Structure 1
């Protein structure tokens, strides 16, 4: 993870999703970092190719399109609210932090703010939990089903 991000990781409690080669793709992070800072992003996307793909989507204004979808599709909006609750529940297993109570990540439950966080949640939770994260992954140039690591750990 240090190699992926170019810096030491803080507050990591585990790897929440892996590349098909075994490298970390998403890590789970404590809701309060070792320095005492509250950290609402429980699922943190670390894979460089996945991160780059989400950045490309954000630059092409896909977030506006996905936000419009939330406003017009009641089923997607309800699933997104449920994803928010699932995220909070997952994080709560590692402690409650008053400063971030009710705050998940990526703009949930009512807007689309960060595709990196939403894709990270979708990868960690699996398909069907976070509809916006699933859509972002489906529209990206990166796939969790093929290795794009600079240094694969095992044969992909």
Structure 2
């Protein structure tokens, strides 16, 4: 993870998703970092290919288009449920008052960060976070195809 991000990780409690070659893709992070700072982003995207793909997707200005999907009642309900599941997953590691009710990525009412919702979709699995699923489907990266450049990784 240090190699992936170019810096030490803070407050990691585990690997929440892996690339097909076994490298970390998403980490789970404590809701309060070791320095005491509250950190609402429980699922954090670490894979360079996935991170670059989400940045690329955001740069194409599809955020409003993807957010418009929330006008569909079923998608909006699924996104609210994803938000609740995210909060429940994080609560197992504590619940700082400063971030109570705050998940990540704009959930449950808007789309603010594709990195965060894609990380949640990867950690929780397909069908849990409908917006994260759409971001992954529209991106140039796939969790089923390894593009790792780490020594010893698949390819």
* TM exceeding 0.5: yes
Is the Cα–Cα contact under 8 Å of residues 22 and 153 in structure 1 kept in the other structure? no
What is the match of residue 31 of structure 2?
31
Instruction: Count the aligned residue pairs.
Output: 155
In the superposition, the TM-score normalised over structure 1's length comes to 0.97
Aligned counterpart, 2:87: 88
- 2:148 touches 2:154 (CA, 8 Å); kept in 1? no
Whole-angstrom distance in 1 between the partners of 2:131 and 2:152: 30
Q: Flag structure 1 segments of 5+ consecutive residues without an equivalent.
A: none
Measure, in 2, the Cα distance between the counterparts of 1:89 and 1:152.
36
Secondary structure of the 1:75 match is: helix
SS at match of 2:44: strand
2:55 matched residue in structure 1: 55
Deviations, residues 136-155 of structure 1 (Å, cap 9, x unaligned): 00000000001010115454
- CA-to-aligned-CA distance 1:15-67 (integer Å, 9 cap, x gap): 00000001000000000000000000000000000000000110111111011
Equivalent residue number for residue 40 of structure 2: 40
Structure 2 match to 1:64: 64
- Ranges in structure 2 where 5+ consecutive residues have no aligned partner: none
2:101 corresponds to = 102
Paired residue for 1:122? 121
Task: Verify: 1:151 aligned to 2:141, yes or no.
Answer: no
CA distance in 2, matches of 1:111, 1:16: 24
Distance 1:13 1:89 in 2: 15
**Contact 2:14-2:29 within 8 A present in 1 as well:** yes
Instruction: Tell me how far apart the structure 1 counterparts of residues 80 and 144 of structure 2 sit (CA, whole Å).
Output: 27
Q: How far apart in 1 are the matches of 2:125 and 2:37? A: 28
Secondary structure at 1:17 match in 2: strand
